[in-house]
Chain A
């Protein structure tokens, strides 16, 4: 099986239609945020962030650990879902929930923790909302035999004790954010002691903690290097499609920062396979319908360089929908550019619609999807229904970015509605 794992990651930047606007410091800046990255991010990760190589070699140890963590993940056909929808379309999905951490996040956590350990870092630090990313970092650090600290958005910390337990089981230190551990957290608590937290705040705490202690920060999404590592999803899927002798026409993924969508779809775009690529967000967040394409900070504190991206503004506080992974203001720069240029389409679905899609999918295929991933399912169902109306034998493929077995409080709440 390990032979199915690609040996190179794919970087889309050399294949874009136009130049990617570079990261930059704001006009009134008295220090260089780009320089600061050297003290935040492991060197090799930073090098890969700014590379122009189309293919980047995956270290052997990372391939072994991909295998250990459950790669290659299965490409499955949702045959019973097709039947329930009575559609002539075929629906396939790549199941990233089959990894031990339960989502695609492990695909970048492993190499980032690996490069951190290679340069002698003793502790890696990050933030987590829903807990999928924190889990992946905790597991990767354990595999590398280094320590990890996770700042977890306070509402999730309280609502999702299961995630916290898993991270602690993997040896992570977990703090609810805002916390008393950092100045940023203390300030937020001073303003509002009942502050429920946000990804932006937790990210700012993690970065401050890293700078103060000379640890290294692992990035969960948005930056090109994360999309690069996630390309493992699409590269594997291309081989799997070749094996079964099919070619997908429509490729779909949900988006928070954009990493699982890009990881799945970019290799297909680069190989000129498929004719429609659809990124899906939430109609409660409205990233696509309300977001603007401009330079903005990826973190609330503004410690990272500005990126040109589709954004709702760094201080945007997303409504408390349960898809924690989609509650983020920005979007990866390459993805933003291709949305802007209409190479990639977008859709938005409400919490109610995605809940029905998740339930339908669970009953048809047996997998309980993460609420984030249910947005991709909603889009696949929509396209399959359109195919029925037009009587088209479309081949649809979506990325099922994670399972929802630790999102049961969400399902309970929706069940009760």
Chain B
């Protein structure tokens, strides 16, 4: 059975202002986003590139209550909402944080530093997240050894996130097909590819190599920075088109 390819749209919570943010979510939903990933600003987004870091700086100065923004997002979309933030910042009040975002309507979390910075106890965290009734999207990359991928992929839901480059939004030379082939040998999860995918050609390459979906984030932020909402929505349209034509 051929499943529809997933479009995972990342946007920083409340970026670039509340109005445009909510319009973006609503229209990106209508234009075929399957899952939303919402960036909850951490103290230091160390594994993100400059575009996303800038977007965090901006929203941090604008809002106090980010869970409130999640609630408002929940009201305008029925798609899954995955909250992206860094475990480093929430580990000390994890249950409270998870409880709050859950009651605001989030379905899951993505913590890019989980495997990298908490290698001894990530299973403990995975349990605590699922006890709160939330999914975890596990983030893996070429820096994650085979054994760890084999151990964790089953716990990633609704998909496994594969960041093919060292940071978000920055293009470095990669052989996407060979990276993906390796990953596909280790897992039977649905794999969504992201982190600095460059242009439509690379999206096609990832799909041909077996990606079940594509995550877009920096490209939206860049479009917002340059030409605002309509241009960010154009990106949604174009990517959806490639996914559907594939």
A interface residues (Cβ-Cβ under 8 A, vs B) = 13-25, 27, 29-32, 34-35, 37-38, 43-44, 46-47, 50-53, 305
Chain A nearest Cβ from B111, distance in angstroms: 13
Q: Bound state CA distance, A149 and B233, in angstroms?
A: 48
Tell whether, in the assembled complex, residue A50 and residue B119 are in contact, meaning their CB atoms are under 8 Å apart.
no
Tell whether, in the assembled complex, residue A21 and residue B50 are in contact, meaning their CB atoms are under 8 Å apart.
no
Given A50-B166, A53-B178, are A18 and B117 neighbors across the interface (CB < 8 Å)? no
Q: Bound state CA distance, A22 and B170, in angstroms?
A: 13
Q: Bound state CA distance, A305 and B49, in angstroms?
A: 12
Chain A nearest Cβ from B206, distance in angstroms: 15
Residues in B156-206 with C-beta less than 8 Å from chain A: 165-167, 170-175, 178-179, 182-183
Q: Bound state CA distance, A283 and B170, in angstroms?
A: 40
25 contacts between A and B (CB under 8 A): A13-B145, A15-B146, A18-B148, A19-B141, A21-B143, A22-B47, A22-B143, A22-B166, A23-B166, A24-B46, A24-B167, A32-B167, A32-B170, A34-B49, A34-B166, A34-B170, A37-B172, A43-B173, A46-B173, A50-B142, A50-B172, A52-B179, A52-B182, A53-B179, A305-B166
Given A13-B143, A51-B142, are A19 and B119 neighbors across the interface (CB < 8 Å)? yes
Contact of B173 among A30, A44, A305 (CB under 8 A): A44
Chain A nearest Cβ from B67, distance in angstroms: 25
Note all chain A residues with C-beta closer than 8 A to B172. 34-35, 37-38, 46-47, 50
Q: Counting CB contacts under 8 A, is B116 at the interface?
A: yes
A-B contact count (CB 8 A): 94
Note all chain B residues with C-beta closer than 8 A to A50. 142, 165-166, 172, 174
Q: Counting CB contacts under 8 A, is B64 at the interface?
A: no
Tell whether, in the assembled complex, residue A13 and residue B142 are in contact, meaning their CB atoms are under 8 Å apart.
yes
Instruction: Name the residue among A17, A21, A46, A50 with the largest chain B CB count within 10 angstroms.
Output: A50
Note all chain A residues with C-beta closer than 8 A to B87. none
Q: Counting CB contacts under 8 A, is B124 at the interface?
A: no
Which range holds the interface residue count of chain B? 20 to 34
Chain B nearest Cβ from A31, distance in angstroms: 7
Chain A nearest Cβ from B199, distance in angstroms: 15
- Could you tell me the dominant secondary structure of chain B's interface residues? loop
Residue of B nearest to A27 (CB): B44
Q: Counting CB contacts under 8 A, is B144 at the interface?
A: yes
Note all chain B residues with C-beta closer than 8 A to A17. 119, 145, 147
Note all chain A residues with C-beta closer than 8 A to B173. 38, 43-44, 46-47
Note all chain B residues with C-beta closer than 8 A to A38. 171-173
Q: Counting CB contacts under 8 A, is B115 at the interface?
A: yes
Tell whether, in the assembled complex, residue B142 and residue A24 are in contact, meaning their CB atoms are under 8 Å apart.
no
Q: Bound state CA distance, A379 and B47, in angstroms?
A: 39
Note all chain B residues with C-beta closer than 8 A to A31. 50
Note all chain B residues with C-beta closer than 8 A to A13. 142-143, 145
Additional A-B contact list (20), CB under 8 Å, known A15-B147, A46-B173: A13-B145, A17-B119, A18-B148, A19-B143, A19-B148, A21-B143, A22-B143, A23-B166, A23-B167, A24-B47, A24-B167, A25-B49, A29-B50, A31-B50, A32-B170, A37-B172, A38-B173, A47-B175, A50-B172, A50-B174
Note all chain A residues with C-beta closer than 8 A to B165. 50
Q: Bound state CA distance, A381 and B178, in angstroms?
A: 44
Tell whether, in the assembled complex, residue B141 and residue A22 are in contact, meaning their CB atoms are under 8 Å apart.
yes
Residue of B nearest to A43 (CB): B173
Q: Bound state CA distance, A305 and B172, in angstroms?
A: 13
